[in-house]
């Protein structure tokens, strides 16, 4: 029994160590900002907006993109298997609109593939993908395009989600967890000179890379899989915190729950199916970029990781009291300290504006409130449909995006830009 517990404790220590190293690197090391020419010719680009029943909220996204395009650039909305008037709304707003109707193949990956094949008739130099519910900070398109043009590799913008106005405190806890995953950890990887995962929106690709990639997929984590594919092909993605896209969590309880279930279900299944194989492959091929991304993908959602550490701490502590070796308990105690330290450091960097110190205890309740979600994930079949996140009303999404999101996006991007040039950033 002692050997089994030690093995499980060591297995748990690996993702905790990865998380700890990433967070510490983001705090201690200067960001590895890549220089790109701010002046001179920017090559022609196309912005793809995959949209599934997004007519209620797509207009602010279209306006943000149009305001950042140069003459000769293209904005293409893929109205994918829509039951509403997304195509009509996008076309009236001045976007080049392409409708796709293939109910047997539903998913953002299929929409991207359709858009790439559409662009092949007149290919641009750079392709950028933006989700239909995102707002863009000033200069996002230019930063993505110029970095992609200089590096000739996939580029990922800072992708943030914000809590709807007036939402309960648990939404702010979720927003902090999102910042940890999509802001702090990529900053740490960037500071270590390592690639980042693709995040599904705010992605830029050289035409020669995206046109030859296999993107047609209905997978829940098609963005992560695409980034891993690019990495294995020798083109690992680069994190660009100077560019920022922002969207909002669904304001309805059911919408938020369904969205979290899709994300975490896809991530958990990726860990169980693909990550072990990728780790072995990267070791034998001596591909350190692939290994770093595989190890990063191995870190489960924060709430699940905290839950596993808590359970192991209890089990190993009880076993030690009953006479088993205490080694597993010591290892798990180290995991608890490292995980707690990681969360506190991330909160100090990018969470104090969301969660005052006296609300940190809510992280514990947030973790264990998700027990039913993980039980549901383990007991149901994996979903593969592209489901639009439900939000309150028809116009509320547009209204929120047009007012609060722009301000939030700009302030967060400013902080991200500061983080890229300093050893630490205080929100």
Nearest to 200 by CA among 147, 117, 129, 116: 129
DSSP 3-state of 272: helix
Query: What's the fold here for domain 45-175+192-275?
Result: Spore Coat Polysaccharide Biosynthesis Protein SpsA; Chain A (3.90.550)
Low-confidence winner among 48-57, 146-155, 177-186, 242-251 (lowest mean pLDDT): 242-251
| β-strand pairing of 203-206 with 155-162 | antiparallel
User: Where are the alpha helices (H) located in 286-361, listed in sequence order?
Assistant: 288-298, 302-321, 327-350
Return the H-helix or E-strand segment holding 127: strand 126-129
111-134 pLDDT tens trace: 999 999 999 999 999 999 999 999
304-361 pLDDT tens trace: 899 899 999 999 999 999 989 999 999 999 999 999 999 999 999 888 888 888 776 7
C-beta atoms surrounding 202 within 10 Å: 27
Classify residue 401 by its DSSP letter: I
Q: Are 210 and 113 in contact (CB under 8 A)?
A: no
Q: Are 161 and 244 in contact (CB under 8 A)?
A: no
What's the rounded Cα separation, in Å, for the pair 183 and 49? Answer: 23
> What pLDDT shows up at residue 108?
86
Q: Over 60: is that where the pLDDT of 421 sits?
A: no
Name the pLDDT band for 284 (thresholds 50, 70, 90).
Answer: very high
Q: Are 224 and 198 in contact (CB under 8 A)?
A: yes
Q: 283 is written with which tokens?
A: 């070791």
Name the pLDDT band for 252 (thresholds 50, 70, 90).
Answer: low
What is the rounded average pLDDT of the residues 288-302? 93
Phi/psi at 51 (nearest 5 deg)? Answer: -140, 125
Name the pLDDT band for 241 (thresholds 50, 70, 90).
Answer: very high
What's the rounded Cα separation, in Å, for the pair 77 and 90? Answer: 7
Low-confidence winner among 7-21, 72-86, 197-211, 351-365 (lowest mean pLDDT): 351-365
- Residue that wins the pLDDT comparison between 415 and 270: 270
% of the chain surpassing 90 pLDDT: 59
> What pLDDT shows up at residue 261?
63
> What pLDDT shows up at residue 413?
41
What is the rounded average pLDDT of the residues 287-303? 93
Q: Over 50: is that where the pLDDT of 176 sits?
A: yes
What's the rounded Cα separation, in Å, for the pair 416 and 56? Answer: 30
pTM, 2 dp? 0.83
> What pLDDT shows up at residue 409?
39
Q: Are 221 and 197 in contact (CB under 8 A)?
A: no
3-state secondary structure the chain: CHHHHHHHHHHHHHHHHHHHHHHHHHHHCCCCCCCCCCCCCCCCEEEEEEECCCCCCHHHHHHHHHCCCCCCCEEEEEEECCCCCHHHHHHHCCCEEEEECCCCCCCHHHHHHHHHHHHCCCCCCEEEECCCCCEECCCHHHHHHHHHHHHCCCEEEEEEEECCCCCCHHHHHHHHHHHHHHHHHHHHHHHCCCCCCCCCCCEEEEHHHHCCCCCCCCCCCHHHHHHHHHHHCCCCCEEEEEEEEEEECCCCHHHHHHHHHHHHHHHHHHHHHCHHHHHHHHHHHCCHHHHHHHHHHHCCCHHHHHHHHHHHHHHHHHHHHCCCCCHHHHHHHHHHHHHHHHHHHHHHHHCCCCCCHHHCCHHHHHHHCCHHHHHHHHHCCCCCCCCCCCCCCCCHHHHHHHHHHHHHHHHHHHHHHHHHHCCCCCC
- Residue that wins the pLDDT comparison between 241 and 216: 241
CA-CA-CA-CA dihedral for 65, 67, 71, 74, to nearest 10: 20
Q: Over 70: is that where the pLDDT of 384 sits?
A: no
> What pLDDT shows up at residue 304?
87
Contacts of residue 193, Cβ cutoff 8 Å, sequence gap at least 6: 32
What's the rounded Cα separation, in Å, for the pair 200 and 218? Answer: 13
Q: 403 is written with which tokens?
A: 């007012």
What's the rounded Cα separation, in Å, for the pair 107 and 134? Answer: 18
Name the pLDDT band for 255 (thresholds 50, 70, 90).
Answer: low
Name the pLDDT band for 218 (thresholds 50, 70, 90).
Answer: low
4-59 pLDDT tens trace: 999 999 999 999 999 999 999 999 987 776 655 566 789 999 999 999 999 989 99
């Amino acid at each position: 029994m002692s050997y089994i517990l030690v093995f499980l404790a060591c297995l748990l220590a690996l993702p905790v160590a990865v998380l700890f190293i990433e967070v510490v690197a983001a705090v201690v090391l200067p960001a590895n900002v890549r220089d790109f020419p701010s002046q001179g010719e920017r090559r022609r680009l196309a912005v793809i907006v995959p949209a599934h029943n997004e007519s209620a909220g797509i207009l602010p996204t279209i306006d943000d993109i149009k305001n950042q395009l140069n003459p000769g650039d293209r904005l293409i909305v893929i109205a994918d298997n829509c039951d509403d008037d997304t195509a009509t709304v996008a076309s009236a707003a001045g976007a080049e609109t392409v409708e796709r109707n293939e109910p047997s193949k539903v998913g953002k990956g299929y929409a991207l593939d359709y858009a790439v094949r559409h662009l092949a008739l007149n290919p641009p130099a750079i392709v950028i993908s933006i989700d239909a519910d995102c707002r863009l900070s000033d200069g996002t398109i230019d930063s993505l395009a110029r970095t992609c043009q200089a590096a000739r590799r996939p580029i990922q913008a800072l992708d943030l989600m914000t809590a709807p106005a007036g939402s309960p405190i648990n939404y702010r806890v979720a927003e902090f967890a999102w910042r940890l995953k999509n802001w702090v950890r990529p900053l740490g990887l960037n500071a270590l000179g390592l690639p980042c995962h693709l995040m599904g929106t705010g992605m830029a690709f050289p035409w020669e890379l995206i046109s030859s990639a296999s993107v047609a997929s209905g997978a829940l984590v098609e963005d992560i899989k695409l980034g891993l594919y690019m990495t294995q092909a020798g083109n690992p993605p680069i994190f660009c915190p100077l560019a920022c896209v922002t969207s909002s969590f669904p304001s309805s309880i059911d919408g938020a729950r369904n969205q979290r279930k899709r994300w975490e279900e896809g991530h958990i299944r990726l860990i169980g199916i693909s990550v072990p194989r990728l780790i072995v492959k990267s070791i034998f091929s001596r591909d350190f970029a692939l290994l770093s991304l595989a190890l990063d993908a191995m870190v489960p959602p924060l709430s699940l990781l905290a839950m596993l550490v808590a359970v192991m701490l209890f089990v190993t502590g009880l076993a030690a009291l009953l006479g088993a070796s205490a080694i597993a308990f010591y290892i798990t105690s180290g995991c608890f300290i490292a995980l707690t330290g990681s969360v506190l450091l991330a909160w100090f960097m990018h969470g104090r504006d969301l969660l005052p110190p006296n609300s940190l205890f809510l992280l514990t309740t947030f973790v264990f409130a998700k027990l039913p979600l993980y039980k549901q994930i383990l007991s149901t079949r994996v979903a593969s449909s592209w489901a639009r996140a439900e939000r309150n009303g028809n116009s509320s999404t547009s209204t929120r995006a047009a007012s609060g999101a722009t301000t939030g996006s700009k302030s967060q991007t400013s902080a991200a830009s500061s983080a890229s040039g300093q050893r630490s950033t205080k929100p």
